[in-house]
Structure 1
């Protein structure tokens, strides 16, 4: 089975998000580091307690941020009647969509987001 060639057109966009993780961590049971029971003696001689945990993410998609690579490979199979080329399809992201940026080696999501409209 041949897969179609898909041309993808994405809008340029930039996203930045800052999230306070204190409540999220506490709801997951990570509470000691925020309290007087915290023990950071391995990194400091003075008693420490965590006051704030913040996560910031930034994603920008534009023509400069796209890298392209070309590779050629061959697969062999028994000779048969010529196959017609796969259809070419077009995907134009001119509507809200979600995106994932994944780690190439492990195929795990590193970032994900939702694009809804130009800012």
Structure 2
């Protein structure tokens, strides 16, 4: 299911299957793009039952960035961040990425971006979409189809 709002640059997508582990094992970016392609979807009114939740996490990126070819940025002897300060007195000590996603009655909030939750309307038949077991969710930038946030909710 994909929830969209014309004024917002992001979509909130839900993948709800009975066997979530099989979904996770087979999910690829290419499959995700195919499943969320507007040409493969149809608009319909949906009665959505979704639990309120808030997920937060923090990652220390020093080892990741070092392994990707940036070890010198963290070394006092070899760091060259002169493009930022004009001299050689800067060195990275830590790089941290922190993110959160909150879903409540008012919509979806992710970091500083807000995606409003809106019903898609077309047919008179209302489909029930009840998230009462684990599901995957994505917040996707509509124009580039880039995944901004990805998560798994396991509690319901």
What TM-score, normalized to structure 1? 0.72
8 A Cα contact 1:103 1:110, kept in partner: yes
Q: Secondary structure at the match of 1:15?
A: strand
Question: Are residues 1:29 and 2:69 paired?
Answer: yes
8 A Cα contact 1:4 1:87, kept in partner: no
Task: Name the structure 1 match of 2:155.
Answer: 117
Q: Secondary structure at the match of 2:83?
A: coil
Query: Deviation per CA, 1:67-116, whole angstroms, max 9, x where unpaired?
Result: 437788xxxxxxxxxxxx79753221111111100012111101111111
Per-residue deviation, 1:40: 1.1
Provide the rounded CA distance (Å) in 1 between the counterparts of 2:120 and 2:140.
20
Q: How many pairs align?
A: 105
For structure 2, which runs of at least 5 residues remain unmatched after alignment?
1-40, 108-115
Name which of 81, 88, 92 aligns with 1:50. Answer: 92
Task: Name the structure 2 match of 1:76.
Answer: none
Per-residue deviation, 1:28: 2.0
Task: Name the structure 1 match of 2:55.
Answer: 15
8 A Cα contact 1:4 1:89, kept in partner: no
Provide the rounded CA distance (Å) in 1 between the counterparts of 2:90 and 2:80.
7
Structure 1 or 2: larger helix share? 2
8 A Cα contact 1:34 1:51, kept in partner: yes
Provide the rounded CA distance (Å) in 1 between the counterparts of 2:121 and 2:143.
17
Question: Residues 4 and 39 (structure 1 numbering): CA distance in 2 closer, same or farther, change over 3 Å?
Answer: closer
Q: Secondary structure at the match of 1:42?
A: helix
Q: Radius of gyration: which is bigger?
A: 1
Map 1:85-104 → 2, pairs under 5 A: 88-104=126-142
Of the structure 1 ranges 55-64 and 25-34, higher mean CA displacement relative to structure 2 is found in 25-34
